[in-house]
Amino acid sequence: MNLLRILWRFLLLLLHVLAGIWLSLNIKKTRLADGKILPEPEPVSRWSARTLQIMGIRVITHGNPPPSPGLIVANHISWVDIPVINSITGAAFLSKNSIRYWPIIGWFAVASGTVFIRRGNHEAQQASSAIAERLLEGRNLAIFPEGTTSDGSGIRRFFPRLFGAAIETRSQIIPVALHYTYKGKPDQRIAYIKGHSFLGILFSILARRESEVHVYFCDPIPSSGQDRRSLAEIAHNAIQSALFNS
């Protein structure tokens, strides 16, 4: 039964990716005042929601996404985090350039208007400028300020420099806590950490009848009057409280 479920869902996922490629070629785009063209977020958000449905991942939200856009900051556990957040908020992402070439996720990242940065001497400045640019465009932008993934049992420290753009653009911070479960217990298999491959995680999810992800929207944090370190600490504490006091 598991093998049949894997094969059927994998076939549906392949067809869905092909449909997504067609979508990306025909998606409605918005031309900004500076001439830049961005894809409309709603079609990609719907594509993300359908992706999760095919994979058998049920999204359970706690709280409501703020009506106005801002800088979404979340704990980082898996590549699944990306379609989960996008399906609810329509957010674009800040990502290292190599993600562009990942299967499925890479295509999705391009289609959703992800800002790619290259590693180098000016990476921090490049990231800050890219975040500020997206926020000024009036779009939600999501970042993972831990800088890497964890197994979900705790939260690594947040890098404060990524919060500077929110202060510069006077944008609100939207803390989002992610918690994956399987059969009512923390899902250890979904974490994209050492020993867990992209395809290994994918096929593990496809084999299950259903997985769950709890998405906690914390109260927005105004950036005015704050410094980067304070914002990082407040957001970190909000996410930690949501995860461990829920």
Query: Using CA atoms, how far apart are residues 196 and 191, in angstroms rounded to an integer?
Result: 7
The full 3-state SS of 154-204, as one line of letters, equals: CCCCCCHHHHHHHHHHCCCEEEEEEEEEECCEECCCCCCCCCCCHHHHHHH
Domain ranges of the chain: 2-244
pTM, entire model: 0.89
What is the Cβ-side half-sphere exposure of residue 24, based on CA atoms within 13 angstroms? 16
Element (H, E) at 37: strand 37-39
Percent of the chain surpassing pLDDT 90: 54
pLDDT digits (tens, 9 = 90+) for 164-187: 999 999 999 999 999 999 999 999
pLDDT for res 117: 77
- Over residues 197-224, the pLDDT tens digits come to 989 999 999 999 999 999 999 999 999 8
Of the candidates 17, 178, 37, the residue with the CA atom closest to the CA atom of residue 106: 17
Tokens of 9: 């869902």
Q: Is 133 helix (H, G, I), strand (E, B) or coil?
A: helix
Asked if 84 and 52 touch (Cβ cutoff 8 Å), the reply is yes
Q: Which CATH class is domain 2-244?
A: alpha beta
Residue, of 119 and 206, whose pLDDT is higher: 206
From CA 197, how far away is CA 51, in angstroms rounded?
A: 19
pLDDT for 122 beyond 70: no
What phi and psi values does residue 57 have, to the nearest 5 degrees?
Answer: -100, 120
pLDDT for the residue 132: 85
